[in-house]
Amino acid sequence: MRAVLAALTTALLALGALVLTSPGTAKADEISGAITQVTTERTSGFDGPLRQWENFDVRANWAVDSTAKAGDTFRLTIPEGGPEIQLFAKDFPLKTADGQTVGNCAATPKEIVCTLTDFVESHDNVEGTLWFTARATKAYDGSETVWTSGDHEVTIQLPGSGGVIGEPWPRPTEPQKAGWQVLENGDLVEYRIAVPASYIQAGTRVTDQYDSRLKFLPDEFNVAEFPEGAWNESGPDWEAGGRSLEPNVDYVLTEGPDNSFTVTFANAGLAGATYLIQYRMDSTGVPVGTEFSNTAGIDDVEVTTRVRKVDAGGDGSGDLPPTPTPSETPTPTPSETPTPTPSETPTPTPSETPTPTPSETPTPTPSETPTPTPSETPTPTPSETPTPTPSETPTPTPSETPTPTPSETPTPTPSETPTPTPSETPCVPPTGPSGSPSQGPGPSESPCVPQPPAPSDTPDTPTGPDTPSSPNTPLADTGGQVGPLAVGAAALAALAGAGLLTRRRRG
């Protein structure tokens, strides 16, 4: 049992150690010595030593090293023992030119503390500046002082010819007015109007005209009375008998419509006393560096003062670390693998297959169909016979030889067949038995008996496709020629017969 408890205790201790050393719980550190330099500048326009209650500008340079991390802080402190100098309270960021936030600062009257962001973890050479307004509130004999940045001391040279001289404020003998920016809140401007009792009677009115960019704050308004013993060389002394007057009893406050207000006293002033009217205005939204003018009038007397708005701020910057250039890994050069040369495979030469020469199919030459030559019909020589009364021998009408219709054969394109021109058949007069021409019965000449025309050579029938010709079937053209020949022969025979008859009648 004890062994188990011991093991458990050891494990818990180890776990606690891990939690304590976890990176997420790293403690923020204060960076000592981040403020490297501080300078001052006088802005009031006065010469000589710095005066009590006078404002001046302060500028400080800061820088942190590469170990800085988010949450770390640095500060600038005004220690006790030196001149009484106070800062204007203000919260402000430290931004880069492109708007990144490097840190955030909070200023109080005695110290400025800045907290870094994670910007410092991603940048190198992080640095910047602070600027603010300070005020000397007490006299000081030296020309320099020492401020601190953590454990480090920073020497400060005061502006002017050296030291801070006290600014006495003896009891005024005539109305006065003063104003300044409030240290604890840089947006507030405070004014004071001092009026000797000799100027105040029952019903005396003090009128104040203020800048239209300022807002009057009635709740921050007060009227006080300081008897003769309650005002010394340094100004009013509350502890010596100063008191606040009762509003609406000792005085009446009336706000005007034109950025003004009026204080009306109910009673005459206490002999030897000084009356102090004190109030505040809000300058929120008004740019830093703006100057406000304010004028107060008591009867025929006017007093004016001016206040310049001041501020506090700062900035920061840093460099991105260089991107490491990766070392170039040499690309290995692959050894060349020889490309094998493929052995040439001989392309087989195909044996020529002889193209068969087709045997010529002889085109059959059609046998010429002989054109029948008509046999000459001999002209009969009539023998003299007694002339009978001839009966009219009818002219025989030759029967038409039908043209055979050939079987359809592909029509060849025939060569033009010349049309035969028949030769003129000479007219031969009929001869008598002696061979001399016979005389006709009348004055008119006997008709000339035409002779049959000599047959012309019939052109060969164009060679067409092989069509077997029928031996008994004449061609169409031949049939066309036989008909006229037959008719002609019949006519000749008729004419010869008529001639014989005539001769016989004459004999």
Residue reference for tokens 């050296």: 162
CATH architecture of the region 27-165: Sandwich (2.60)
Percent of residues, the chain, with pLDDT higher than 90: 38
Task: Supply 50's token pair.
Answer: 């710095």
For range 376-399, the mean pLDDT:
44
For range 267-282, the mean pLDDT:
95
How confident is the model at residue 26, as a pLDDT? 62
For range 390-410, the mean pLDDT:
43
**Right CATH number for 176-312 from 3.40.228.10, 2.60.40.740, 1.10.10.10, 3.30.70.260?**
2.60.40.740
Q: Is a pLDDT exceeding 90 seen at residue 74?
A: yes
DSSP notation for 82-144: S--EEEPPEEEEEE-TTS-EEEEEEEETTEEEEEE-GGGGS-EEEEEEEEEEEEE-S-B--SE
How confident is the model at residue 479, as a pLDDT? 44
Q: What sign does the dihedral 487-488-491-496 (CA atoms) show?
A: negative
The listed range with the strongest mean pLDDT (116-130, 289-303, 341-355, 390-404) is: 116-130
Q: Is a pLDDT exceeding 50 seen at residue 96?
A: yes
Closest CA to 158 of 50, 301, 299, 319: 50
Q: pLDDT category, 258, cuts 50, 70, 90?
A: confident
Task: Give whole-number Cα distances, 211 to 141, 264, 291, 296, 478, in Å.
Answer: 37, 21, 9, 12, 148
Q: Using alpha carbons only, how large is the chain's radius of gyration in Å?
A: 78
The C-alpha atoms of residue 216 and residue 69 are separated, in whole angstroms, by 45
**pTM of the full structure:** 0.55
**Residue 56: count of CB within 10 angstroms of its CB:** 19
Closest CA to 428 of 446, 445, 451, 397: 451
In the chain, ranges of CATH 2.60.40.740 domains: 176-312
Q: pLDDT category, 379, cuts 50, 70, 90?
A: very low
How confident is the model at residue 2, as a pLDDT? 57
Q: What sign does the dihedral 159-164-165-166 (CA atoms) show?
A: positive
In the chain, ranges of CATH 2.60.40.1280 domains: 27-165
Q: pLDDT, tens digit, for every residue of 145-179? A: 999 999 999 999 999 888 898 888 889 999 999 99
Q: What are phi and psi of 307, to 5 degrees?
A: -130, 130
